[in-house]
Amino acid sequence: MDTSINASYGTTAKHDNDIARTPSNRNQSAEKAEFHDLVQPHLRDYCPASNLAFNEKVKRMMSEGQEVYHFGFGQAPFPVVPGMVMGLREYASENAYLPVAALRGDGTFWLWKCKHVWLVSGIPELREALCSFHSRYDNLSGLHPDQVIVGPGSKELIYLLLNVFKGDVFVLSPTWTTYKPQGQLAHHKVYVINTKIENGWRVQPEDIEKSVIENNVKGNKILVMCNPDNPIFDMWLTGPFLPAGICYMKEHLEAISDVCRKNNIIVISDEIYARLHYKQKHDTLARYYPEGTILSSGLSKWASAGGWRLGYHIYPAELKVLKDAVKSAASHTYSCAAAPIQYAVAKALNNEEEIHSYIIHTCRILATVASYCHRELTSVGVKCLPSTAGYYIFPNFELLRQSLRRRGITTCDQMCAAMFDEASVALMAGGPAFLRPVDEFTTRLCYVNFDGKPGLEESLKRGLDHSLDEDFLKTYCKPTYDGIQAIKSWVKAQLEK
Ligand SMILES: Cc1ncc(COP(=O)(O)O)c(C=O)c1O
């Protein structure tokens, strides 16, 4: 028996018949096919999501045995909500390929091979549970399950929505690094509206209108905004300290609603970090601009279930046409979010007590860690704002400029590389990925590089009457605690050089 390798795929043919069938064998004498110019022109310089690429690199190094304080990736540190895990065990055998719903000419749905009343937009009990979750937490009344589309992550749903949308897209800067590439992927003209530190990085309503007028955008418009925003809750550059956070409050949301209403702008309001507002003071645009807001959220952050890939959008009745187009697109792409996960989450969301306690305890741990990071870094002169939500601070190491220049280090990337080599600290450089100048020493620090399970158990055991102190951090958030001390030592060493 001959065994030959098909070089393109590295497969080994075991039988003579297989050899006869392999393309390499069939075309032995022919030249190899050549492929050129395969990527669409507008995507030639397309980069992978910078945070994911960075995480992969650091993880690879860690798996090779290097000790790293990994502050580069914002992934929930806690175990998934226990009720959801129990639910997943219970429903793991739900293996039916959920049927695809197709639109009839009259706009109603025709269910193909429908065993149960399942829709591409998510099982009804999950959509119902999500409505009551948002009416509890966001004070949204009158939500109906028909308004909800469930998918494999809110990222996918934003992407599909941008794909079906006819019109132009507006994004803010700085903001999450994915909106603009998604708009490009969906062949849109994407306009960037810059925000300013003196406005707390919140978009100003007049800048939205100015961008529409200056760019002469006459057709449909979608604005993508994030509230609370990632990763710039705490960005500190120059100028005075600002009240922390780019959490939009009532007056901002009202003003944005006015301008969007006046200019017929649809808003994708990405509120995936809403439940991680440490004081539970999130306010949603959907309350002020109900007819034009598509609320985007999911389980990845507050429920610590990023890998479960469950996200959802809530559409107003006024945007039903868009919602139906996304449903159709969903039916032709992902078909449905994983069935066992949908059942598990639907059941768990109804346990209001567990959900609330989980949110309160995880948020108080994050708040304790965030305030420690801020206190320690600012104690050696690193500038950053205290965090009010989420996983991130955005420290600025400007104080090291002279010392670093003497070492030939002039960019943030170089500084991060030096910190990595000399202190085993992985920080993501601010720089162009966050639409910041390359020579600015801002970095994104994700303070969630600890295993949150024991800490969460301890917090629950202590109860809310007993606060979490520095000893708690030393014990339960050790990698973060030690990593911040490592940064401090490295900073001090630079200043002494
Ligand atoms: C601002 C923002 N929106 C959306 C997402 C993606 O969420 P999902 O896991 O639901 O796709 C992320 C996560 O990385 C994010 O940071």
pLDDT of amino acid 244: 39
Task: Return the ligand 1 atom nearest residue 311 CA.
Answer: 10
Q: How far is the CA of 201 from the centre of ligand 1 (A)?
A: 19
In angstroms, what is the span from residue 414 Cα to ligand 1's centroid? Answer: 28
Cα 447 to Cα 88, 100, 169, 365, distances in angstroms: 29, 41, 32, 11
Pick the CATH number of 50-76+354-496 from 3.30.565.10, 2.40.30.110, 3.90.1150.10, 3.40.720.10: 3.90.1150.10
**Ranges of residues in the chain whose predicted pLDDT is under 70:** 1-29, 45-54, 97-119, 197, 230-245, 433-435
Domains 50-76+354-496 and 95-350 are alike in CATH topology: no
Pocket flag, ligand 1, residue 227 (CB < 6 Å) = no
C-alpha pair distances (Å), 417 with each of 233, 251, 411, 423, 429: 24, 42, 10, 10, 9
The tokens describing 368, both together, are 């304790």
Query: Is residue 395 reached through a cis peptide bond, with omega within 30 degrees of 0 on the bond before it?
Result: no
Q: How far is the CA of 145 from the centre of ligand 1 (A)?
A: 22
Which atom of ligand 1 approaches the CA of 229 most closely? 1
* pLDDT score, position 28: 58
168-173/5-6 β-pairing: unpaired
Name the residue ranges covered by the structural domains of the chain. 50-76+354-496, 95-350
Q: What's the confidence (pLDDT) of residue 26?
A: 57
Å from CA of 154 to ligand 1 middle: 6
**Which has the closest alpha carbon to 346: 78, 131, 98, 114?**
131
Q: How many helices (H) and strands (E) does the chain have?
A: 17, 16
Tell which atom from ligand 1 comes closest to the C-alpha of 175.
Answer: 1
What confidence score (pLDDT) does residue 384 get?
Answer: 87
CA distance 109 to 339: 20
For residue 313, give every residue at least 6 positions away whose Cβ sits within 8 Å of its Cβ, in sequence order, or none: 148, 149, 151, 154, 157, 158, 161, 294, 295, 296, 323, 326
**Nearest atom, ligand 1, residue 300 CA:** 9
Measure 54 CA to ligand 1 centroid, in angstroms.
16
Report the CATH fold assignment for 95-350.
Aspartate Aminotransferase; domain 2 (3.40.640)
